[in-house]
Amino acid sequence: MRYEEPPVTQRLLAQRLLALFALGWLLLNFPLLTLWDRGVLVAGLPVLPLVLFAGWAALIAAVAWICEADDEPD
């Protein structure tokens, strides 16, 4: 049985998703969340939940964009 290396596009996809995972981990990590934990209100809402939901939505959008991107050369 011979091991065949995955195509370059699959490796690139895996690297992008791993980088996005690391970015999400940093975004939702405690030390960075304390930057947003202030008594400031935006439109009557605390900043921390707004940043959490906006970051979460951005991560979901980035994963969808990366997974749906066409990496095949023309």
Res 26: pLDDT? 93
Res 8: pLDDT? 81
Q: Contact, 41 vs 52, CB < 8 A?
A: no
If the chain, 74 residues long, is cut into consecutive pieces of 10 residues, what is the mean pLDDT of each piece? 78 93 94 90 93 95 91 60
Res 73: pLDDT? 59
| pTM of the shown model | 0.80
Res 72: pLDDT? 62
Q: Which residues contact 6 (CB under 8 A, 6 or more apart)?
A: none
Res 71: pLDDT? 65
